[in-house]
Amino acid sequence: MVIVNEREKVFHLYNERISYLFYVMESGQLGHLYFGKALNPKGSYLHMVEKAHRPMSTYINEGDLYTSYEHLRQEYPCYGTSDYRYPALEVQGGDGSRLCKLEYQEYEITKGKKPIPGLPAVYVEDDREASTLEILMRDTWRNLDVIFSYTIFKEIDAIARSVRFVNCGQEVLMINRAMSMSVDMPDADYESIQLSGSWSRERHVKVRSLEPGITAVSSLRGNSSHQHNPFLALKRKDTTECSGDAYGFSLVYSGNFLAQAEVDNYNVLRVMLGINPFGFQWKLGPGEEFATPEAVMVYSKDGLNGMSLQFHRLYRSRLARGYWRDRERPVLINNWEATQFNYVEADLLRFAGKAKECGIELVVLDDGWFGARNNDKSGLGDWKANREKLPDGIEGLSEKIEALGMKFGLWFEPEMVNKDSDFFRNHPDYMIQTPGRSASHGRNQFVLDFSRKEVVDAVYEQMYDLLSNAKISYIKWDMNRSVSECYSSAYPADRQGEIFHRYILGVYDLHERLLQAFPRLLIESCASGGGRFDAGMLYYAPQGWVSDDSDAIERLKIQYGTSFVYPLSCMGAHVSACPNEQVGRNTPIETRGNVALTGAFGYELDLNQLNCKEIEIVKRQVEFYKSHRNMIAFGDFYRLQSPFEGNFAAWEIVRPDADMAIVTVTRVLSEINGPYRRLPLCGLSKSRKYHVKSKYLSYDAYGDELMQYGMMLEDRSSGQAMDDSGCCQDFLSVLYEVTAIE
Ligand code: DGJ
């Protein structure tokens, strides 16, 4: 998977579908050659270097009017010489100079992949799955070693990159900017896709044409954020969901990030991804090391669905890990929207009893169970049961739930504290704040300084105590505000630029310690819904609460956007009550079910409030999920129709053996006597015959027909379904089962 042309010093990472090429320039820096569809691995590629005499440039060698970094496509550009685009690296020495020059030293190819200590990263289970190329670069003037790591997978069309820095000298160095990856693409005729939004409106798909200058998304909030996801895709203008070039760049990180595409004056495109350099500075003392988070680059010739399939395969099988990775997830019910903070144990047992009757497997107790937590002004930090609400504590409640034949899950917000809590009264210095300045709150709460081990230890002890004494199978790990006034009293002035990153390392450390102690614990990540829904969290929490917006129609866009990178196995999706808590909308319970069924399925309402007909539907939904959850979580997912482009949203899940597909088609507003509609499917076997079944349709067709001509859609507004006449047909969702019969 890695070929080195020793004479030309060209490195070629490839599998049967993708190639990635770079070379060592005369100056010793690395130049980028190619990333895309697989190229013949035997060739010579140096003719790809484009170089011309460009007037009014700055050139690195005296007497030579050609060689300027401004005009060379680079692999990891450093600040300070003749390249005026944004660099991947900026290092400052004791002399104040910020110039850095990396020269190639040697390479090493190993089978498999090494972990990155303290950071989430994709991995292999067998060394034959991937090969890793490490390139040692050195700035001899600064005594700085820089190791670029590239891992290419055999069966997945992804390359994982990260960079490690080792200060081999005596001088203290300051890393001001260290991106995880950078790539200079030969042209910029792409559209960029970002997943952006806000609280309850996360990861909407935004497409922009690239223009000269910068297109970027980022976070400075300490969490990856509701606003932008650490991800950027590139597509040609004619790329569709199913065909054409598509590139995806995803950062395996949960803190401040920058994803940037820069188009220069020669239409060269520089894409980079990494920790946001703004506010970041890492002091690298003699002998010290620093590792960047990992970036994953995917290429597909099969359009955006092709790109997403690669991310899904990699992230659900070689980023998510542990006991729950390949296991079917329990159908859960969460009490938050049903009760908020107002409940006592008897309410919860009634709530759980009805859930059991419907076949639900896991009861999750959300916020409000601990300390003096009767509203959001107090209690965070005191992870002990509120005995007025729960007389037998979490131990007693969890036993009673288990006695009903269900598992029990519990909400925590480990990184936060209310000033009105014993934890804060005992440790007022444990929160993040800048001395002498006022501290901003979010939802009346403050952020604990997770850059300090003793703070993480204090939270760990409380959680460990509870998890070892009560029967807790699952935790929902919430995080309801971003970091502000970032400063840690435990670190000196010249290390304050490290705090945001150290905070996230502390968050990862607490996850890791809990998983080491309780390997069968299922963690669902959450940050006011999807405020930290990123690949970093997926390493610890194989599922995450996609959004606080549980309205099925809003969820169409949110889940559609989320699917660009993240697999269905990790998308927490629940049926909630109507009118919906966030938008006040009434939608049919079938629609709410259909949208939530294509995720890590659950309920977010009090089933005791539903009528008999609705309870029967709930039972059927639970049964359907149980019998199809394996293919839903681990099958191939295809977006078929975008809710951003019209009145319909449609997606499909296909079993890897193409034996069966589930297709969900949701129409937002009703239409009358509309056109005949067909939906071309994906991923079926062309020559096999399938049976298509929905509420009103039942017919047989071959795979090639269903993929070319399309699957015919039922349309109740055309008069097909007289039994539903009179009902509101807005927000109608139909689930089609497509089953191979030959
Ligand atoms: C925000 C989460 O996203 C909700 O699901 C719920 O857990 C609340 N926090 C509880 O405070």
pLDDT at 724 over 70: no
- Burial (0-12, 13-18, 19+ Cβ within 10 Å), 95: exposed
pLDDT at 717 over 90: no
Yes or no: say if 532 and 552 are a contact pair by the CB < 8 Å rule. Answer: no
Cα 413 to averaged position of ligand 1 atoms, centre (Å): 9
Report which of 48, 46, 12, 252 is spatially closest to residue 133, judged by C-alpha positions.
12
Atom 11 (ligand 1) nearest CA: 367
Residue 552: Cβ within 10 Å count: 27
**Best residue among 378, 443, 545, 546 to mutate for probing ligand 1, ranked by most atoms within 8 Å of CB:** 545
Alpha carbon 678 to chain centroid distance? 32
Yes or no: say if 311 and 251 are a contact pair by the CB < 8 Å rule. Answer: no
**β-strand pairing of 246-252 with 294-300:** antiparallel
CA atoms of 153 and 131, how far apart (whole Å): 7
CA atoms of 640 and 651, how far apart (whole Å): 5
Cα 402 to averaged position of ligand 1 atoms, centre (Å): 24
CATH entry, 332-634, from 3.90.650.10, 3.20.20.70, 1.20.1090.10, 2.40.50.140: 3.20.20.70
Yes or no: say if 193 and 497 are a contact pair by the CB < 8 Å rule. Answer: no
Atom of ligand 1 lying closest to residue 529 CA: 3
CA atoms of 112 and 110, how far apart (whole Å): 6
pLDDT value of residue 327? 97
pLDDT at 726 over 70: no
Q: Is 548 in the pocket of ligand 1 (CB under 6 A)?
A: yes
CA atoms of 237 and 687, how far apart (whole Å): 32
pLDDT value of residue 51? 83
Residue 117: Cβ within 10 Å count: 9
Catalytic residue among 548, 606, 636, 715: 548
Instruction: Spell out a b/e string for 591-606, using b for 16 or more CB atoms within 10 Å of the CB, else e.
Output: bbbbbbbbbbbbbbbb
Query: Is 478 one of the annotated active-site residues of the chain?
Result: yes
Q: Is 551 in the pocket of ligand 1 (CB under 6 A)?
A: no
Residue 517: Cβ within 10 Å count: 13
pLDDT at 433 over 80: yes
Confidence of residue 725 (pLDDT cuts 50, 70, 90): low
Cα angle 506, 508, 509 (rounded to 5 degrees) comes to 60
Residue with token string 């630029």: 497
Distances (CA, A) of 382 to 462, 473, 481, 528: 8, 20, 18, 20
CA atoms of 185 and 73, how far apart (whole Å): 7
Q: What is the mean pLDDT of residues 570-597?
A: 97
Atom of ligand 1 lying closest to residue 545 CA: 3
Residue 465: Cβ within 10 Å count: 12
The DSSP secondary structure of 484-506, one letter per residue, reads -S---TTS-GGGGGGHHHHHHHH
Q: What is the mean pLDDT of residues 294-323?
A: 98
Would the CATH topology of 75-318 be identical to that of 648-740?
Answer: no
CA atoms of 308 and 312, how far apart (whole Å): 6
Q: Is 366 in the pocket of ligand 1 (CB under 6 A)?
A: yes
CA atoms of 46 and 437, how far apart (whole Å): 56
Cα 367 to averaged position of ligand 1 atoms, centre (Å): 7
Atom of ligand 1 lying closest to residue 411 CA: 7
Q: Report whether the peptide linkage leading into residue 55 is cis, meaning its omega lies within 30 degrees of zero.
A: no
Integer-rounded Cα Rg, in Å, for the chain is 27
pLDDT value of residue 718? 66
Cα 10 to averaged position of ligand 1 atoms, centre (Å): 51
Q: Is 478 in the pocket of ligand 1 (CB under 6 A)?
A: yes
Q: Is 526 in the pocket of ligand 1 (CB under 6 A)?
A: yes
Report which of 229, 273, 214 is spatially closest to residue 85, judged by C-alpha positions.
214
Q: Is 528 in the pocket of ligand 1 (CB under 6 A)?
A: yes
pLDDT value of residue 77? 97
Alpha carbon 173 to chain centroid distance? 32
H/E element holding 545?
A: strand 543-545
Yes or no: say if 414 and 463 are a contact pair by the CB < 8 Å rule. Answer: yes
* Residues forming a β-bridge with 517: none
For residue 269, give the amino acid letter.
L
| Residue range 75-318, CATH number | 2.70.98.60
Per residue in 360-374, pLDDT (tens digit) is 999 999 999 999 999
Q: Is 545 in the pocket of ligand 1 (CB under 6 A)?
A: yes
Per residue in 522-532, pLDDT (tens digit) is 999 999 999 99
pLDDT value of residue 686? 97
Atom 6 (ligand 1) nearest CA: 336
Per residue in 618-634, pLDDT (tens digit) is 999 999 999 999 999 99
- The domain ranges of the chain are 75-318, 332-634, 648-740
How is residue 742 written in tokens? 């030959």
Residue 662: Cβ within 10 Å count: 22
CA atoms of 566 and 559, how far apart (whole Å): 9
pLDDT value of residue 584? 96
Residues in the chain: 742
Atom 2 (ligand 1) nearest CA: 528
Cα 696 to averaged position of ligand 1 atoms, centre (Å): 38
Atom of ligand 1 lying closest to residue 376 CA: 11
Catalytic residue among 478, 549, 551, 715: 478
Query: Is 548 one of the annotated active-site residues of the chain?
Result: yes
For residue 278, give the amino acid letter.
F
Per residue in 397-422, pLDDT (tens digit) is 999 999 999 999 999 999 999 999 99
The chain-wide mean pLDDT, for the chain, equals 96
**648-740 under CATH 1.10.760.10, yes or no:** no
